[in-house]
Every structure is written in C-alpha cells, then in structure tokens.
C-alpha cells in the first residue's frame, strides 16, 4: 500500500497499516516534509509523486476538495487508486484504469487514537475484480465492510454531518455555556453518552425528551432569555423542528 496525504485520516491509515502484520506500507507522500513528522520510518516518507513504489493500492487520503487536483498530477495511471471521501463520487477517479473508494465512516483527529476494527468501511470500485481486491484489503483492517454505491455514500456522508459535525457543535455551545457559568463540562458527559447508548434499544424518534416535545412553554421561554441572539436562533429552529416532527406544532 501507499498513502498520499498527511492529514488526520492519512495519519490514522499510516498507524493502522504499520501495526498490521498482513499489510506492507511502501510509501506515504506529502509535498511538505514537515507534515510527515508522525511517520517514524524515514524510508517510508516520500515527497515526490514519482516515488510511490509499486503498491497494490494507492490511498488518496487528501481533503475532499483536493482529490481531483492530486489525481491529475499523478503521472502513473496504471495503479489502483482509491479515494477516502464520503462526498465524492467514484467517477472522480475515472481517468485511472483501476479506481475505487475506501470510505471509513468515522471522525479522525490527529491526537486521538482509534481502533479501525470497529469502523464501518464503505467500499466501491470500478470492476468486480477491484471490488474484491478492496474488500479483501478492507477486511484486514475492519470487521465492518460494506459495499456502498456513490449515491448512498453521499446520503451517508450527509447523515454523518448531522450526527457528528452538528452534534459536536452543539457540544461546543454547551461547553462554552458551562464555562460562562462556572460549571465543569464533564458533568454533562454521562448524559451525552446515554443519549447515544439509549439508541441501542430505542429509535431516536422514541428517545426524544425535553421541553420541546412536552411543549413546556415556560421552560422554553426561560431558556431563550438566557441565550445570545445566535444561539437563540438555533434553539428556536431545533425546538420548532422537534415540535413539528412530533405533532406538537403550535
């Protein structure tokens, strides 16, 4: 395998590959030398796209916006190139004879280690043969490998934005709110964990609680008064959306 990229995902792929006895990493590429500081083995580092070795699969672990641009710079066209993006179609790599998608449905931050075995990997490829090759490979790193076409992957990526990006932003708002009021954010963690665990036994629609679904106007008004204009807008919109979906529309 070779990896192109030096961001959060690339660093996690690197760690996963070098710790797996069944996978041999040939090269990890970044234009800027400094960005590969997480790679301990100097012989694996590459700063030229001409030096990717002769890997079975080349992972384009670059920003979504950069995939096409990087692909066009690659002079070798006969490798098996896969991108790792939820939002990009398979066909963005169609100039390569062999191409595919290896999309790990997870959030990656450089400083947080994560076990790949539990990460759902969504795969897609331009031929049955390449799909099998990618499937065999993905099964070496994860127990959850799914064949997902570009259209479904796009929907999944959007769902991931709601459950991860937006949720994390609500955590950020709550965390700031705790700081402002001298409350340790940690006190909310059991609630945050249970909010997710609950869904092992209930669908989220049935798990909904709180002033919006109870249509508890007094509490809703009191909350709104405590918020700044921006957060009030978020509170209002999400409260209305909860009430609408649960038939509590005013």
Nearer Cβ to its own copies (43/200): 200
CA 153/CA 166 separation, integer angstroms: 18
Intra-chain end-to-end CA distance of the chain, in Å: 57
CA 129/CA 132 separation, integer angstroms: 5
> Per CB under 8 A, does 244 bind its own copies?
yes
Nearer Cβ to its own copies (41/65): 65
Among 47, 77, 129, 199, binds its own copies (CB under 8 A): 199
Nearer Cβ to its own copies (132/210): 210
The footprint of its own copies on residues 89-118 (CB under 8 A) is 105-109, 111-112, 114, 118
Binding mask 65-94 for its own copies (x = CB under 8 A): x---------------------x-------
**Which parts of 54-112 are beta strand (E)?**
58-60, 80-83, 98-104
Shortest distance (Å) from residue 243 CB to its own copies: 10
Give the C-alpha distances (Å, rounded to integers) separating 186 from 100, 180, 183, 232: 41, 14, 9, 24
Nearer Cβ to its own copies (44/105): 105
Shortest distance (Å) from residue 203 CB to its own copies: 6
Phi first, then psi, for residue 11 (nearest 5°) are: -65, -35
The footprint of its own copies on residues 127-186 (CB under 8 A) is 144, 146, 148, 151-152, 154-175, 177-178, 180-183, 185
Q: Is 69 left (phi over 0), alpha (psi -120 to 50) or beta?
A: alpha
Rounded to the nearest 10 degrees, what angle do helices 229-245 and 167-180 cross at?
Answer: 130
The footprint of its own copies on residues 200-219 (CB under 8 A) is 200-214, 216, 218-219
> Per CB under 8 A, does 250 bind its own copies?
no
Shortest distance (Å) from residue 16 CB to its own copies: 15
CA 166/CA 106 separation, integer angstroms: 14
The footprint of its own copies on residues 11-70 (CB under 8 A) is 63-65
């Amino acid at each position: 395998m070779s990896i192109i990229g030096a961001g959060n995902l690339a660093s996690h792929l690197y760690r996963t590959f070098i710790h797996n006895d069944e996978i041999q990493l040939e090269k990890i590429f970044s234009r800027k030398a400094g960005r590969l500081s997480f790679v301990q083995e100097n012989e694996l580092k590459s700063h030229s796209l001409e030096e990717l070795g002769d890997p079975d699969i080349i992972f384009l672990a670059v920003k979504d916006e950069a995939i096409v641009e990087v692909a066009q710079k690659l002079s070798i066209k006969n490798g098996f190139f896969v991108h790792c993006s939820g939002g990009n179609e398979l066909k963005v790599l169609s100039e390569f004879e062999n191409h595919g998608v290896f999309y790990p449905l997870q959030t990656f931050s450089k400083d947080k280690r994560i076990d790949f075995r539990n990460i759902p990997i969504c795969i897609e490829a331009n031929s049955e043969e390449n799909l099998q090759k990618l499937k065999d490979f993905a099964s070496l790193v994860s127990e959850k490998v799914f064949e997902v076409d570009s259209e479904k992957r796009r929907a999944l990526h959007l769902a991931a934005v709601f459950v991860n990006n937006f949720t994390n932003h609500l955590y950020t708002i709550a965390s700031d709110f705790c700081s402002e009021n001298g409350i340790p954010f940690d006190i909310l963690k059991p609630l945050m964990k249970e909010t997710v665990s609950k869904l092992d036994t209930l669908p989220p629609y049935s798990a909904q609680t709180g002033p919006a679904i109870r249509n508890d106007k007094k509490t809703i008004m009191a909350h709104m008064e405590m918020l700044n204009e921006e957060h009030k807008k978020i509170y209002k919109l999400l409260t209305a959306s909860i009430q609408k979906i649960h038939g509590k529309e005013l």
